[in-house]
């Protein structure tokens, strides 16, 4: 850090145009993860309904439509 | 200046912490309600096997497994939400016009709680097992997702209305514009999207209410936790980066 630290630091990382695709990829992975928890009916998980049933209580209590 | 990756990692960690906290809250407050609702569901199925949806009969995962799976679900969901929050923070920090990083992080978490949880909850409240018609699950899921997006749009509309007031407008009128923009968007969504009333006539109202409170509380713990943990991790990182020049917050003497 330089000596000119502002009194109230404003922390924003630089997101260069080169990184846009990387950021979009991370967003896609995170949305997929949320989908897997909240909405997957066995289509993606490949373990059939196992993950769906395992996270049954969590889905109900997170307030997502379940069945 | 932190890198994007370091902000993202802090968000993921904050999400994991918050998700596990939310899981603990859900386990204590919601667990007994889920059990009670499943007992009612089983009763209904055994009374009339032809109409009931006995999806618990297969026992793919035991009840003990599902109770533990609650923590897996909230933990993973927390990680996903924490990551998304940190990306929103990274992209929007400068536009927020909020001085403190911690306040900005908490404002974003609050906006997500309002838009993605509270607004959808008003239209499609959480349902325990035994409530909900399996035949409409696809429509309900689609409408729920639409409501989540609309809720976030409503928050954005409120912020836009707040800023659209001419310079010099009194503060109260800006706030009124924000509330009006938010409520107008929510009202459109509530009117436009279909309603589902699928609570069985004999389902105990008290149990339904308790379950819904527990569910809303779980999301509240999740978003309060992710906002606070993310803000804390950001400031820790700042203090470390500044080294001998800790941030002003870090130099405030701790009260005994």
The full set of domain ranges for chain A reads: 29-67
Please choose, from the candidates B2, B24, B12, B29, the residue with its C-alpha nearest in 3D space to the C-alpha of residue B230. Answer: B12
Give residue A10's pLDDT band: very low, low, confident or very high (50, 70, 90).
low
Q: What is the pLDDT of residue A54?
A: 80
Q: Is A12 helix (H, G, I), strand (E, B) or coil?
A: coil
Listed range (B98-102, B105-109, B165-169, B201-205) with the worst mean pLDDT: B165-169
* B61 reaches A (C-beta below 8 A): yes
pLDDT in tens, B75-117: 999 999 999 999 999 888 888 888 888 999 999 999 999 999 9
Q: Which of B23, B80, B222 to mutate against chain A (most A CBs within 10 Å)?
A: B80
Q: How confident is the model at residue B182 (pLDDT cuts 50, 70, 90)?
A: very high
The Cα–Cα gap between A24 and B179 comes to 31
Smallest CA-to-CA distance from B127 within A54, A67, A49 is with: A67
Enter the ipTM: 0.80
Q: Any residues with CB less than 8 A from the CB of A33 and at least 6 apart, and which?
A: B76, B77, B79, B80
Residue showing tokens 């308790």 = B210
Nearest CA in chain A to B53: A67
Q: Is the pLDDT at B253 greater than 70, yes or no?
A: no
Nearest to B69 among A7, A8, A58 (CB): A58
Within 8 A by CB and 6+ apart from B98, the residues are B104, B107
Please give the helix or strand (H or E) that residue B43 lies within, else none: helix B31-47
pLDDT of residue A7: 42
Smallest Cβ–Cβ distance between B72 and the set A8, A34, A55 belongs to A55
Which residue reads 């990692």 in tokens? B9
Interatomic CA distance for residues B66 and A58, integer angstroms: 8
Measured between beta carbons, the chain B residues lying within 8 angstroms of A6 are none
pLDDT digits (tens, 9 = 90+) for A18-51: 788 888 888 999 998 888 888 776 555 555 677 7
Dist. CA B34–CA B170, nearest whole Å: 49
Specify the pLDDT at position B252: 43
- Residue B237: band (very low, low, confident or very high) from pLDDT cuts 50, 70, 90: confident
Mutate to test the interface with A, among B61, B127, B242 (most CBs of A within 10 A): B61
Q: What are the C-alpha distances in Å from B168 to residues A56, B36, B156, B179? A: 52, 57, 22, 19
Selected residue of B8, B70, B223, B248 to mutate for chain A interface (largest A Cβ count, 10 A): B70
Q: How far does the CA of residue B1 sit from the closest CA of chain A (Å)?
A: 6
Q: What sign does the dihedral B179-B96-B227-A32 (CA atoms) show? A: positive
- Contact call for residues B151 and B182 (beta carbons, < 8 A): no
Subunit contact A58:B216, Cβ cutoff 8 A = no
């Amino acid at each position: 850090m330089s000596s000119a630290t502002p009194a109230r630091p404003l922390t924003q990382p630089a997101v260069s145009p080169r990184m846009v695709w990387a950021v979009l990829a991370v967003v896609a992975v995170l949305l997929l993860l949320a989908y897997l928890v909240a909405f997957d009916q066995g289509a993606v998980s490949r373990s059939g309904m196992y993950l769906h049933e395992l996270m049954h209580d969590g889905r109900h209590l997170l307030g997502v439509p379940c069945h | 200046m932190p890198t994007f990756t370091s902000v993202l990692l802090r968000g993921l960690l904050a999400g994991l912490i918050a998700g596990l906290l939310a899981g603990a809250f859900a386990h204590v407050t919601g667990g007994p309600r889920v059990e009670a609702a499943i007992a009612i569901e089983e009763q209904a199925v055994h009374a009339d096997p032809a109409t009931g949806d006995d999806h618990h009969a297969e026992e793919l995962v035991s009840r003990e497994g599902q109770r533990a799976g609650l923590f897996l679900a909230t933990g993973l969901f927390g990680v996903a939400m924490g990551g998304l929050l940190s990306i929103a923070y990274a992209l929007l920090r400068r536009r927020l016009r909020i001085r403190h990083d911690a306040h900005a992080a908490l404002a974003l978490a609050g906006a997500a709680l309002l838009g993605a949880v509270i607004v959808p909850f008003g239209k499609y409240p959480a349902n325990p097992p035994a409530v909900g018609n399996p035949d409409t699950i696809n429509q309900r899921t689609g409408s729920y997702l639409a409501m989540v997006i609309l809720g976030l749009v409503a928050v954005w509309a409120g912020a836009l209305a707040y800023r659209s007031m001419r310079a010099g407008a009194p503060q109260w009128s800006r706030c009124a514009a924000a509330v009006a923009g938010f409520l107008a968007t929510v009202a459109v969504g509530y009117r436009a999207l279909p309603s589902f009333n699928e609570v069985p006539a004999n389902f105990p109202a008290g149990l339904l209410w308790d379950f819904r409170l527990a569910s809303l509380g779980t999301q509240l713990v999740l978003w309060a936790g992710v906002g606070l943990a993310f803000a804390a991790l950001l400031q820790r990182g700042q203090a470390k980066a500044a080294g001998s020049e800790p941030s002003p917050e870090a130099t405030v003497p701790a009260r005994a």
